[in-house]
Amino acid sequence: MLVRSKSDEEKLRLGGVYDEDRGGNRVIRFIESNLVLESGKPFVLLPWMKDFIHSVYSWFRPDGLRFTKIGLLTCARKNAKSALTYGLTAYHLLADGMMSPRCASVAVNKEQAAQIYDWLRFAVESNVKLASALHCVNHKKQILYPKKNGHYRSLSSDVGGKFGHGFGFVVHDELAFHKKDDLYNALKNSGDAIPNSLQVITSTAGFNKNAQFFKLVQYGKKVLAGEVVDPTFQPWVFETPDAADLDDEANWRLANPSLGVTHGIEDFRAQWNRDKQEATSRHTFCILKFNQYKDAENVWIPVEAWDACKAILPPLDGRAVVLGVDVGATRDLTAVSLVAPLDDKTVAVKSWGFGHSYLHRDGKGYVKPETSRRENKKDNLIALLMALSQALQVDVSPPKPSVY
């Protein structure tokens, strides 16, 4: 029995049953017996994949339905999580027992959506039994299952759309890198009326802590720690902690459960030794290969070097200073940095961050939706500079800013 959290203990208290033969083993047998990888080799699930499958599919409520409604998986890139999810998609389309099964995968963009569809199409066409049961519609990125009135759609998060029917199974692939959460929000409750509906959400860490995937990971960590009890949510978090020694190879496997199988440890070692020498490459490596969330997509100076420069801002009376402003128009944050050259040829830097609600008040509430993005930027910039002038106790007249 796989008991990983207080949420799993709660399932037992509610009269639930853990049954691998009825649950996870059926999924594993289907994938390994019917599917092939992109290389044409048989799909052999790794041990950690089987554990994930059992945790999601082997817990049953007293009424016989699965407990899990959301399975969350986060790990570093190149660990075959996308291959795992296309295997699960094929299972739900063909073998989960739903009438009129409707399945979807949501990718970052059109190119990735096409790639996911091509993986599944290749697996179908490589199996005579699957090919006779399913019909691939390439120009629509759909796979039809006429016998059961089922279908699969490969969707892209950067293309809008409305979906009038529910999906019994949805994969949100690399959700941290979706530019918008709109499609996720549209689909996350699409299977509420469908028995045994399931959403599987996968991604490597990103750099946007305001996006939905970061919030889901934080929620998942609370579930694993027992701070939140949620029998419907099954999180799997593979990450190398920020405070870990990144040169200790034992810590590499914390974020890379498939290390040594899907990518060689020698190549991993060589890339890390190369990329850690330069700030931007190190930053990107930590996001993609150590599965660490960062506050920005790119950096030009290592965070630890920046933190080492911390000091008290000296008096700036009479000094010429430069203000750099990145103004948020409607939703994003606004950042301001003050730079002041000092007599000893060093530079004093002070930065502020302002949230959406701080900048977008007009005395009666938020600015009207019809207000243009450009007008918002201009008004916000003037208000921001006036607020800073008061905070710094300097006399600044409202400028006529150039807005880009």
For the chain, domain boundaries: 6-237, 249-305, 313-392
Secondary structure percentages of the chain, helix, strand, coil, to 5: 35, 20, 45
> Which tokens sit at 201?
């959400």
CB atoms within 10 A of CB 399: 10
Instruction: Between 20 and 370, name the one with better pLDDT.
Output: 20
Find where tokens 């290749």 sit. 122
| Least trusted range by pLDDT, from 45-49, 106-110, 201-205, 392-396 | 392-396
pLDDT value of position 318: 76
pLDDT value of position 167: 93
| Least trusted range by pLDDT, from 174-178, 324-328, 369-373, 394-398 | 369-373
CATH number for domain 6-237, candidates 3.40.50.720, 3.40.50.300, 3.90.480.20, 3.30.930.10: 3.40.50.300
> Which tokens sit at 55?
């945790």
Distance CA 368, CA 366 (A): 6
pLDDT value of position 204: 96
pLDDT value of position 372: 47
**54: pLDDT strictly greater than 70:** yes
Instruction: Quickly state the pLDDT bin for 121 (edges 50, 70, 90).
Output: very high
State mean pLDDT over 4-33. 96
**383: pLDDT strictly greater than 50:** yes
| High-pLDDT (> 70) share of the chain, % | 81
**382: pLDDT strictly greater than 60:** yes
Instruction: Quickly state the pLDDT bin for 402 (edges 50, 70, 90).
Output: very low
State mean pLDDT over 48-55. 97
Q: What is the value of pTM for the model shown?
A: 0.77
Instruction: Quickly state the pLDDT bin for 113 (edges 50, 70, 90).
Output: confident
Q: What H or E segment, with its residue span, contains residue 50?
A: helix 47-57
273 CB-near residues (< 8 Å, 6+ apart) = none
pLDDT value of position 362: 45
Instruction: Between 127 and 397, name the one with better pLDDT.
Output: 127
Question: Which tens digit of pLDDT belongs to each residue from 185-237?
Answer: 888 888 888 989 999 999 999 988 888 999 999 999 999 999 999 999 999 99
Instruction: Report the b/e string of 61-89 with b at 16+ CB within 10 A.
Output: eeeeebbbbbbbbbbbbbbbbbbbbbbbb
**53: pLDDT strictly greater than 50:** yes
CA distance readout (Å), 174 to 112, 184, 202: 10, 11, 6
pLDDT value of position 71: 97
pLDDT value of position 345: 81
CA distance readout (Å), 379 to 323, 347, 367, 384: 17, 30, 11, 8
Instruction: Between 113 and 214, name the one with better pLDDT.
Output: 214
The amino acid sitting at 62 is P
pLDDT value of position 328: 64
**15: pLDDT strictly greater than 50:** yes
> Which tokens sit at 24?
């996870």
Question: Which tens digit of pLDDT belongs to each residue from 245-285?
Answer: 999 999 999 999 999 999 999 999 999 999 999 988 999 99
State mean pLDDT over 164-172. 85
**368: pLDDT strictly greater than 50:** no
**329: pLDDT strictly greater than 70:** no
217 half-sphere exposure, CB direction, 13 A CA radius: 25
User: How many helices (DSSP H) and strands (DSSP E) are in the chain?
Assistant: 14, 13
312 CB-near residues (< 8 Å, 6+ apart) = none
**371: pLDDT strictly greater than 50:** no
pLDDT value of position 160: 59
pLDDT value of position 386: 62
Most confidently predicted of 40-44, 57-61, 275-279, 311-315: 57-61
Strands ordered across the beta sheet of 334-341:
322-326, 334-341, 347-354
Instruction: Please classify residue 296 by burial: count the beta carbons closer than 10 Å to its beta carbon, then call 0-12 exposed, 13-18 middle and 19+ buried.
Output: exposed
Rg (CA), the chain: 25
**Residues pairing with 151 in the sheet:** 102, 144
